[in-house]
Amino acid sequence: MANFFDLMGRIFISLIFLLSGYNKIFNYGDTVSWMEGFGIPGFLLWPAIFLEIIFPILVIIGYRTQISSVLLAIFCIATALIFHFDFTDQIQIIAFLKNLGLAGGFLIIAANGPKDWAIDKKKKYVRL
């Protein structure tokens, strides 16, 4: 049962990034304008899209899960500090704390690694 919960947790925490990356692709111009409003160069959108699509897939399938989780945690903290640091707006406070919560979840995944339902599962060898 722990393996099932681990996999479901990895899927749930990764879904927000997959959907966000997908939306960024199809709303590219609006997203670039929004980023530039915060002083972030628009050319950084493609690396963000790559990160939001590839690393969550790696977390879900359990391949290089720990490094992917650490990178996603760093991304969550960075985006919280850059885009959601307006504590006069209740919505931004919630978004800030959501990003920190996601970072915490990714750090837990990084600390514990994936369970048995992962590509990187450690094989147990039996001596004959």
CB 73 within 8 A of CB 103: yes
- Measured CA to CA, the distance from residue 50 to residue 68 in angstroms comes to 12
Provide the whole-model pTM: 0.92
How do the pLDDT tens digits run along the chain, 128 residues long? Answer: 989 999 999 999 999 999 999 999 999 999 999 999 999 999 999 999 999 999 999 999 999 999 999 999 999 999 999 999 999 999 999 999 999 999 999 999 999 999 889 998 776 666 76
In the block, tokens 């690694």 appear at: 113
In this structure, the dihedral spanned by the alpha carbons of residues 33, 39, 45 and 49, taken in order and rounded to 10 degrees, is -110
C-alpha of 49 from chain center: 11
Burial zone of 125 (CB within 10 Å; 0-12 exposed, 13-18 middle, 19+ buried): exposed
61 φ/ψ angles, rounded to the nearest 5 degrees = -80, -10
